[in-house]
């Protein structure tokens, strides 16, 4: 994260992420070999197929149930008793709840409000911050999101380049949540970049000379279609395996 901040000139002190000090943990050769073996086993596992209406492990196929059972054994039995297992106990991943808390901390530290917040996410870990932000009048944007993200967001973006988030942030800064939704409802590419600075507009047109990426307001009538389109597009830009993750 520090390296990324240096590349884009973003203040590292404003970053909220999972923190891991690898120097605190030591593993011997035998454990390293065991981890490589487990890694190979995971890599060889078949991709799980989870239907949209699945609510528990009982809704999975026999093969996928066996995969879950084996993963549980690895993480909660084998790894838990290794030296590296300390990381599972000591490291606090920034997931859904922590992301929402981070958003609240940022608004307090900057003296802003949730109604002045635009949040972009793409997965199940973004559901809680989506609900928090849009529940207080802010804007929730799904960027190449999966089913969980599109279901909770107000705007769906399908794009190969993240510059469209800069366009939406610029619109949000000028017009607020209602203004962004109103412009997006026009489904007019020219309207999206109308309020951009000349530099941003030029860069967008350089990347997309013929047509801008899809930016669409999510409604009850188009939600399932956008879920399907976004899920499929997500796999084209992230790869089939990674794109299918939650």
The fraction of the chain above a pLDDT of 70, given in percent, is 96
Which candidate, 131, 120, 94, 76, places its Cα nearest to that of 18?
A: 94
For 61-84, how does the pLDDT look when each residue is reduced to its tens digit (9 = 90+)?
A: 999 999 999 999 999 999 999 999
Cα dihedral 153, 157, 161, 163, rounded to 10, equals -70
CA 149 to each of CA 110, 152, 154, 168: distance values in angstroms, whole numbers, following the listed order: 26, 5, 10, 17
For 180-191, how does the pLDDT look when each residue is reduced to its tens digit (9 = 90+)?
A: 999 999 988 889
Question: Considering only the top CATH level, what class is 96-243?
Answer: alpha beta
- In the chain, where the domains are located: 29-42+58-91, 96-243
214-217 vs 118-121, strand pairing mode = unpaired
139-143 vs 118-121, strand pairing mode = parallel
pTM: 0.79
């Amino acid at each position: 994260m520090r390296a990324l901040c240096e590349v884009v000139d973003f203040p590292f002190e404003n970053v909220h992420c999972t923190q891991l000090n690898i120097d605190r943990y030591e593993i011997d050769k035998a454990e390293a070999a065991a981890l490589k073996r487990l890694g190979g086993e995971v890599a060889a596992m078949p991709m799980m197929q989870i239907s949209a209406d699945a609510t528990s492990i009982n809704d999975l196929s026999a093969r996928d149930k066996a995969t879950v059972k084996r993963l549980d054994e690895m993480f909660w039995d084998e790894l838990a008793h290794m030296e590296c297992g300390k990381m599972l106990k000591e490291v606090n991943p920034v997931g859904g709840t922590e992301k929402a808390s981070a958003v609240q901390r940022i608004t307090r530290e900057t003296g802003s409000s949730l109604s002045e917040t635009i949040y972009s996410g793409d997965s199940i870990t973004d559901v809680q911050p989506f609900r928090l932000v849009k529940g207080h009048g802010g804007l929730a944007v799904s960027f190449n999101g999966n089913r969980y993200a599109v279901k909770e967001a107000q705007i769906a973006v399908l794009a190969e380049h993240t510059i469209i988030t800069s366009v939406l942030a610029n619109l949000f800064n000028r017009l607020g949540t209602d203004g962004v939704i109103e412009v997006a409802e026009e489904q007019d590419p020219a309207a999206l970049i109308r309020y951009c600075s000349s530099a941003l507009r030029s860069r967008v047109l350089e990347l997309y000379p013929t047509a801008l990426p899809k930016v669409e307001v999510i409604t009850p009538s188009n939600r399932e279609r956008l879920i399907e389109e976004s899920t499929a597009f997500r796999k084209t830009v992230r790869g089939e395996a990674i794109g299918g993750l939650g």
